[in-house]
Amino acid sequence: MSEGKIRVLIAKPGLDGHDRGAKVVARALRDAGMEVIYTGLRQTPEMIAQAALQEDVDVVGLSILSGAHMALAPRIMELLEANGQTDVQVFIGGIVPEEDIPRLKELGIRGVYGPGASTEEIIHDIRLAAERRKA
C-alpha cells in the first residue's frame, strides 16, 4: 500500500528577508494536501541542496526578491545535479525581470512566478511537475 504525498521544499536563498510570499505559498500548498518543508531565511545554496536531498523532495521552490536569482539559481541547479537529484523540479517565485526568464528556463527552472501569480496556478504546476517526477 503506497501512501505518497507531494513533498515541496520552500527555501529563501541569500540575504533577502521578505518571507511573506514564501509563507503564503507554503500555506497554500499545505491546503492543497502537500507536505511543505520550509527552511526559513538566509539559506546558502549548499544548505538548500542538502535539505532537498535529505528530505527527498519532489519540488524545490526558491523565493527570491533580492534580484540575485541569476547568481543563486545556477549554483543551486549545479548542486542538485552534483547530488544526483536531476529529477527534482525547481521553481522560482519573487521578483524576476522578464528578460531573465528564458535563461532560467535553459538552466532547467520549470517555472517563474512574479507578484500577482495565483496560488491556484502554482499548485497546478507543482502537481504536474511532481507527477512527472514520479513517472
Partner 1 sequence: MMLAASVLEGDRLALARLLTHVENNTGDGQTALRILFPRTGKAHLIGVTGAPGTGKSSLINRLAVHYRGKNKRVAIAAVDASSPFTGGAVLGDRVRMKDLSGDSSVFIRSMASRGALGGLARNTAGIVQVFDAAGYEIVLIETVGAGQGEVDIACLAHTTLVVEAPGLGDDIQAIKAGILEIADILVVNKADRPGVENTEKALRSVLELAHPTQRVVKHHWQALQAVLPAEAGTDGWSVPIQRTVSTNGHGIPELAEQIENHLEYLRASGHWLRREEARLASEVDAILQQTLMLQFHAALPEERYNEVMRQVFEKKLSPGEAASNLVEDAWHTEHREEQRAK
Q: Contact positions toward partner 1, by CB under 8 A? A: 1-5, 7, 26-27, 29-40, 44, 46-47, 50-51, 53-56, 83-85
Question: In this complex, which beta carbon is closest to partner 1, that of residue 38 or of residue 113?
Answer: 38
Give me the DSSP letters along the chain. Answer: ------EEEEE-BTT----HHHHHHHHHHHHTT-EEEE--S-B-HHHHHHHHHHTT-SEEEEEE-SSTHHHHHHHHHHHHHHTT-TT-EEEEEE---GGGHHHHHHHTEEEEE-TT--HHHHHHHHHHHHHHHH-
Amino acid in the structure at residue 46: E
Angle between helices 20-31 and 119-134 (to 10 degrees): 60
Query: Closest separation between CB of residue 103 and partner 1, Å?
Result: 28
Question: In this complex, which beta carbon is closest to partner 1, that of residue 46 or of residue 120?
Answer: 46
Query: Closest separation between CB of residue 122 and partner 1, Å?
Result: 14
Question: In this complex, which beta carbon is closest to partner 1, that of residue 33 or of residue 114?
Answer: 33
Query: Closest separation between CB of residue 83 and partner 1, Å?
Result: 6
Question: In this complex, which beta carbon is closest to partner 1, that of residue 42 or of residue 103?
Answer: 42
Query: Closest separation between CB of residue 37 and partner 1, Å?
Result: 5
